[in-house]
Amino acid sequence: MTLRIGTRGSALALWQSRHISARLSEAHPDLEVELVEIASEGDRVTDVPLSHVEGTGFFTAALEQALVSGEIDLAVHSYKDLPVKSIAALVVAAVPVRGPVEDALCGRDGLTLEGLPAGARVGTCSTRRAAQVRLVRQDLELVPLRGNVPTRLGRVGRDLDAIVLARAGLVRLGLDQSITETFSTERMVPAPAQGALAVQCRVADAAVYGRLHVLNDAATRRAVDAERTLLHALGGGCSVPVGAIATAFASGVQLTAAVFGLRTGVAVRVQMTGADPVALGQLAAARLIEQGAGDILAEFASGPAGVPA
């Protein structure tokens, strides 16, 4: 049996797909696995801030279309890139053990966030990260950032003093030596599903689903289900700074979630525990709304907001 894995062509996407390929070959020695590179809109359009398109399928739609059409048998995604509203014909068959969840700073000359000089230029592609940086350092100039991980790192010390990005990508590409500060999840709440992969196939393809299920990690899946349910309950806004991080344990899931005002500096946060991850995510979203998240979300109701300078 041959399985065709759809993947974007970036170094990180290829690492992720090769990782899944190796895991599948290890679990099913009889399988032949091949990678099929597919360009996403996000790969073709490089002048749109990611804060305008996160969660819209900007990086995943082309892979999903290829999966629906039968061009490929499965697709590997960074789970945080998948829209919260799924395509009926497709299913996430496996969520493997999660990678690092934290955000990280890569600064010139070993600088940390607190050590950056006043007015330093900090690049980020995320309004969530920008809002949380602003809570700590209102004096910094925040600069929109696009490109693959090596391209972003190449700007540090050139036209940027530092960048903030997910630690998982740096670790997976062997570039974690560039990290000058790792933020705890208490200090900077990650994006829902950050560090997790989603292995997707067609609902009707039982044979492929059966092969993929061996990759699924139940604890990671329960945690990510809580985080993504919260995002969906808040409207799944592509430009809204929502952070969520959950941990699954034997009797339930603990979820920390927050919504951050990009311009106002207002933030609301909850930490809750529950037995059912979906119910927990819904309840946490309701509690955030009760605490004023609705007013923060209204800041973005008229359309996406980019990273402010």
Kindly state the average pLDDT of the residues 109-114.
98
Give the pLDDT of residue 302: 54
pLDDT tens-digit series, residues 132-147? 999 999 999 999 998 8
In this model, does residue 261 exceed pLDDT 60? yes
Give the pLDDT of residue 233: 94
Q: Where along the chain do the CATH 3.30.160.40 domains lie?
A: 230-298
CATH second-level architecture of 2-96+197-216? 3-Layer(aba) Sandwich (3.40)
Contact 230, 244 (CB under 8 A): yes
Give the rounded percent of residues in the chain with a pLDDT score beyond 70: 89
Q: Out of 28-37, 39-48, 193-202, which region has the weakest mean confidence (pLDDT)?
A: 39-48
Contact 200, 73 (CB under 8 A): no
Q: Which of these is catalytic: 73, 81, 161, 225?
A: 81
CB neighbours of residue 100 within 10 Å: 18
CATH number of 230-298: 3.30.160.40
* 161 flagged as catalytic: no
- Which DSSP helix (H) or strand (E) runs through 90? strand 90-94
If DSSP states are collapsed to H, E and C, what string results for 7-61?
A: ECCCHHHHHHHHHHHHHHHHHCCCCEEEEEECCCHHHHCCCCCHHHCCCCCCCCH
For the chain, what is the mean pLDDT?
91
pTM as predicted: 0.90
Structure tokens at 41: 């809109």
Superfamily of domain 103-182: Periplasmic binding protein-like II (3.40.190.10)
Q: Where along the chain do the CATH 3.40.190.10 domains lie?
A: 2-96+197-216, 103-182
pLDDT tens-digit series, residues 266-296? 899 999 999 999 999 999 999 999 999 988 8
